[in-house]
Amino acid sequence: MTKIKRYRLRFAALGLALAALAAAAPSARAQMDSSAPMVVKQQKVKPLWMNAEVVRADHNTLTVREAGNEMALHTFTYGPKAAQQMQKVLNAGGYLRGDAIKVRFQSGHTVALAIKGKPSRPI
């Protein structure tokens, strides 16, 4: 045999050996823990009170501007307690633009839980 044929034969044998080792290697498995899942206790989020100025108020929604940030507008729908409060206020004339109120709500939600503030006299 010539030198080149021996080289090709060795190269082919080496490639076959590597392929056999790769096929015989155990597959990698993820580390799994089959014990009980870890329970994370969720913390209760307290409702926040926001000082605000009324932009628009009707029987479905309340749009307010934050007292500390004039560029921040929030639109709220009413929760059960706030709906009763708003119905009483609307029967008496409703909130007018610029009335100072406080709105209680859950952070990240758009439902008003309670509303405090004296409406101005209707015009």
Q: How far apart are CA 96 and CA 99, in angstroms?
A: 6
Domains, the chain, with CATH or none: 48-116 (2.40.50.140)
- For residue 99, the 8-state DSSP code is -
Amino acid 48: pLDDT:
94
Which residues make Cβ contacts (< 8 Å) with residue 45, sequence separation at least 6? 106, 107
Amino acid 42: pLDDT:
86
Amino acid 8: pLDDT:
80
List of E strands, the chain: 48-57, 61-66, 73-78, 100-105, 111-116
Amino acid 27: pLDDT:
64
Give the tokens for residue 14.
């080496």
Low-confidence stretches of the chain (pLDDT beneath 70):
1, 25-33, 123
Amino acid 45: pLDDT:
86
**What pTM value is reported for the model?**
0.64
Question: Is the Cβ–Cβ distance between 86 and 107 less than 8 Å?
Answer: no
Amino acid 64: pLDDT:
97
Q: Give the angle subtended at the CA of 87 by the CAs of 83 and 55, to the nearest 5°.
A: 80
Amino acid 31: pLDDT:
67
